[in-house]
Chains A and B, each alone.
Chain A
Amino acid sequence: MSELALRIRGLKKQYPNVLAVAGVDLDVKRGEVFGLLGPNGAGKTTTLEMIEGLTDPDSGEMEILGLNWKQNGSEIRSRIGVQLQSTSLFNKITPREALTLYGGYYPKARTADELLELVQLTDKADAYHITLSGGQMQRLALAMALVNDPELVFLDEPTTGLDPQARQSLWGVVRKIKSEGRTVILTTHYMDEAEALCDRLAIMDHGKVLTDGTPAELISQLAIPSVVELSFDGGAPSKERFEALLGTAIEVRGDLWEIPTPDPKSLLPKLLEAAETEKVPYQQVHVRRATLEDVFLHRTGRSLRE
Chain B
Amino acid sequence: MLLWRQFLMEWKLYSRDRAAMFWTFAFPILMLLGFGVIFRGGDTPRLSVVWVQPAQMTPKDGALLKTLEQFPTRLITLSPKEAETRWAKGETAVQIESTSDSFRMKVNSYLLAQGQMTAQVVQQAFLISQSQLQGQPLPKLIPVSMESPGHAKAANYAAFLLPGLLGMNLMSMGLFAVGMVNVSYREKGKFRRLAVTPLPKWIFLLGQVMHRLTVTLIQTIFLLIVGRLVFGIENQGSYMLLAVVMVIGTACFMAMGFALSSFADTSETYAAISNLLFFPMMFLSGVYFTLDGAPKWLQQSVIALPLSPFLKALRAVYNDGAALTTHVFGLGIVVIWTVLCFGLAVKRFRWA
Contact = CB atoms under 8 A, between A and B. Distances in A.
A interface secondary structure, majority? loop
Contacts of A30: none
Contacts of B13: 90, 92-93
Nearest to B191: A88
B138 interface: no
Interface string A81-97: 01010111110110001
B188 to A, nearest CB: 4
A82 B194 CA distance: 10
B196 A77 contact: yes
B198 interface: yes
A71 B5 CA distance: 29
B193 A105 contact: no
Interface in B155-205: 185, 188-190, 192-199
Interface residues of B, number: 20
Interface string A73-117: 010011010101011111011000100011011110000000000
A105 B2 contact: yes
B221 interface: no
A280 to B, nearest CB: 51
Contacts of A148: 197
A52 interface: yes
Contacts of B193: 82, 84, 87-88, 144
B196 A82 contact: yes
A53 to B, nearest CB: 7
B30 interface: no
A102 B195 CA distance: 12
Interface of A: 52-54, 74, 77-78, 80, 82, 84, 86-90, 92-93, 97, 101-102, 104-107, 128, 144, 148
25 contacts: A53-B196, A54-B192, A77-B196, A78-B198, A82-B196, A84-B189, A84-B192, A84-B196, A86-B188, A88-B185, A88-B189, A88-B193, A89-B190, A90-B13, A92-B13, A93-B13, A97-B9, A101-B5, A102-B197, A105-B2, A105-B194, A105-B197, A105-B198, A106-B197, A148-B197
